[in-house]
Structure 1
Amino acid sequence: MKINKSETKVQMVNRREHKALDIRVGGEKIKEVQEYKYLGSLITRDGRNQKEIRSRIEQAKRVFFQKGQVFRAKIDLGVRLRFLRAYVWSVALYGCATWTIGTLDRKRIEAFKLWCYRKMLRIKWTEKVRNEEVLRRIRGDRVIWKMLVKRRTRMIGHNLRHPVRLATVLEGMVEGKNWKGKPRQSYEDQILKIQGASPLYI
């Protein structure tokens, strides 16, 4: 196997600060990075999804502006909403099946949804229209969140039904003691909370 040393980077995912890694190939030290893109998703050193979610929303907003004439055209609202899901929300939700989403992240996603609706309805921020009124005009509610939950549920179900290594990781236990302080919400716990189930494998 040949390794391109100039293109190779290393990263340690850790909750705590750590000393710089000293990994060498052929006597040359490999650069350590805080974050990197893998298959279109942003992987950060702290193992969280906040930066990835913000990045996805920014990319989706750029797509919205690029296709702005379609979303503001005088065509049926239902057709424009389907365009929104196909062109914009598909970008925003790329890789969402692997996200562990906190309260602030969910609010950010919901705010992005309302931002799209307001732009489509040409509602200016100076008009001071409440979110409830926007949803009434658009005849929609939490569609983007339902799409996210559906994708995540499909992925976890697919992985747990097949004997793949990822299923072993999801079901496995990590050795050692817990960190001090409030534990992070785990991917498994969040799925159970949303689905209203008790055991994971039902």
Structure 2
Amino acid sequence: MVPAPSCPYTWDYWSSSPTEGIELACLMPNSVYIPLRASWDSTLQDVKEVRPCRLKDSTVTNQGGTDEDVAARINKAKAAFAQLRPVWDSNVLKRRVKISLFNSIVKSVLLFGCETWRVTKGLMNKLQVFVNKSLRLILRIFWPNTIRNVDLWNVCKQTSIEQEIALRKWRWIGHTIRKGAESKASIAFEWKPPGGHRRRGRPVHTWRRTVDGELRAQGLSWTEARAVAEDRTAWRTLVKALCTTGELWDKAAKYPLFGMLHEMSGYVFQFINSLAAPEEVDDESKRLRDVKPVCGVLKIIERPNEKPGEHLLNTHISHLIGKGLNEFDSLRSSEVNDFRTRMRILAEESSLKRANSSRLEKLRHRYPPRLADLPVVPTMLHSRLNNHCFILVTKVENTEVRIGLRVEAVWG
């Protein structure tokens, strides 16, 4: 039997657990607890404090155990991948079969129980690094041969680990909610022990706080989520809100007019922000709760014609100055208007002057000389001339055409 603790907060947990449908395991007299200013009064049986604790192939610690659980999952997935090394090295099996075996054997070991993991950027990077290395070994891509991660995922028909975990998590949440209000897992989504208080400082980044934030980003509460989960079609629509352009691109490849699309980088998500203005999603790794679109609606559009990298450069400049470049168009101060007027006049004068210039001046402007223009040939070049002449070779860009001219030198 587990002794009743003397702390009022934990005593409420002990006393209310039978009414809330929570059973306390009594087979292992061990405890893993978050350190508080409270003591355990052992009156019936000593409770041994252990850290960490193994429970049903998962690791439980006083911080939640996600970090330790992810590390253990990666090690087990590495062992499963190593056992299948003859399969990866086989020249008989097709790539499609190898990827299918990787998904069903290695990836299932890696992501076991991922629905309850506390998602952080560091953990996602560790998982993604393992998957990327494994896929490169399967495809036999070694240095100096390289491939971008995005291209690697497209070839192997994979999605990012963060997106896959999010989809698995929300599908599992919908399945758990549909079990009914009497299910212990469903009760744990919202139940909080009465009484007590937390320590000072920022609240710990827990799994439930993450899920609550994602629900708020969709404009839903747990009560509304339970109602939506009863309709499987509506719940699938909610889950699909986590899709990115990469997944949409893979789906679009199955349609006959896919060849009419441009490169994937030429498309971007657009949404309506809180100021009722259209805004583009610059970083697709952001979550919806960080983007905060109105009504949770994203629209995919084609980027306007612009130079390569110009959009990324404008984004970086906007982050540095703390304001979007498009916001300067709405400024109406006298200094800004005067600056715009002066720049327009200067540009018009420069354009008019260039239009009236000679052909030689236009050529020098288009192809500026690398050497200083002198009226006579320098003395140091006299010995290098060919019969007192320069040999001028002109190569046409993107072709093998070369044109040679003999130009007589001007002597001083």
Q: TM-score range by the shorter chain?
A: 0.7 to 0.9
Paired with 1:110 and 1:194, the residues of 2 have a C-alpha distance of: 25
Q: Which has the larger radius of gyration?
A: 2
1:22/1:82 Cα in 2 relative to 1: closer, same or farther (>3 Å)? farther
Q: What is aligned with 1:4?
A: none
Report the CA distance between 1:158 and its aligned residue. 2.1
- Any conservation in 1 of the 2:176–2:185 contact (CA below 8 Å)? yes
Report the CA distance between 1:42 and its aligned residue. 1.3
1:188/1:34 Cα in 2 relative to 1: closer, same or farther (>3 Å)? closer
Secondary structure (helix, strand or coil) at the match of 2:205 reads: coil
- Any conservation in 1 of the 2:32–2:60 contact (CA below 8 Å)? no
Secondary structure (helix, strand or coil) at the match of 1:37 reads: strand
Could you list the per-position Cα deviations for residues 135-183 of structure 1 after superposition, in whole angstroms to 9, with x for gaps in the alignment?
Answer: 1673434254444223211221122221212222211245444432222
Paired with 1:159 and 1:148, the residues of 2 have a C-alpha distance of: 16
Percent sequence identity is: 21
Count of aligned positions: 193
Among 187, 191, 194, which residue is 1:172 paired with?
Answer: 191
- Any conservation in 1 of the 2:99–2:156 contact (CA below 8 Å)? no
Task: Out of 63-72 and 136-145, give the one that drifted further.
Answer: 136-145
Report the CA distance between 1:50 and its aligned residue. 0.3
Q: Which runs of 5+ in 1 are unaligned?
A: 2-6
Q: What is aligned with 1:78?
A: 96
Report the CA distance between 1:107 and its aligned residue. 1.0
Among 95, 110, 116, which residue is 1:92 paired with?
Answer: 110
Could you list the per-position Cα deviations for residues 72-125 of structure 1 after superposition, in whole angstroms to 9, with x for gaps in the alignment?
Answer: 32222121111001110111111111111111111111111112112212333x
1:63/1:172 Cα in 2 relative to 1: closer, same or farther (>3 Å)? same
State the one-letter code of the partner of 1:90.
S
Among 181, 200, 206, which residue is 1:186 paired with?
Answer: 206
Paired with 2:51 and 2:146, the residues of 1 have a C-alpha distance of: 41
Among 47, 62, 66, which residue is 1:45 paired with?
Answer: 62
Q: What is aligned with 2:53?
A: 36
Runs of 4+ in 1 over 6 A off after TM superposition: 17-20
Name the structure, 1 or 2, with higher relative contact order (CA <8 Å, separation 6+).
Answer: 1
Q: What is aligned with 1:121?
A: 139
Does 1:154 pair with 2:171?
yes
Paired with 2:125 and 2:154, the residues of 1 have a C-alpha distance of: 21
Paired with 1:96 and 1:34, the residues of 2 have a C-alpha distance of: 21
Q: What is aligned with 1:112?
A: 130
- Any conservation in 2 of the 1:49–1:99 contact (CA below 8 Å)? yes
Paired with 1:64 and 1:40, the residues of 2 have a C-alpha distance of: 19
Paired with 2:202 and 2:147, the residues of 1 have a C-alpha distance of: 35
- Any conservation in 1 of the 2:118–2:206 contact (CA below 8 Å)? yes
Q: Which runs of 5+ in 2 are unaligned?
A: 2-26, 229-412
Paired with 2:158 and 2:118, the residues of 1 have a C-alpha distance of: 22
1:19/1:181 Cα in 2 relative to 1: closer, same or farther (>3 Å)? closer
Report the CA distance between 1:21 and its aligned residue. 5.6
Paired with 2:196 and 2:39, the residues of 1 have a C-alpha distance of: 23
The within-5 A match list for 1:1-40 is: 8-14=28-34, 16=35, 23=42, 29-40=46-57
Report the CA distance between 1:127 and its aligned residue. 2.9
State the one-letter code of the partner of 2:189.
L
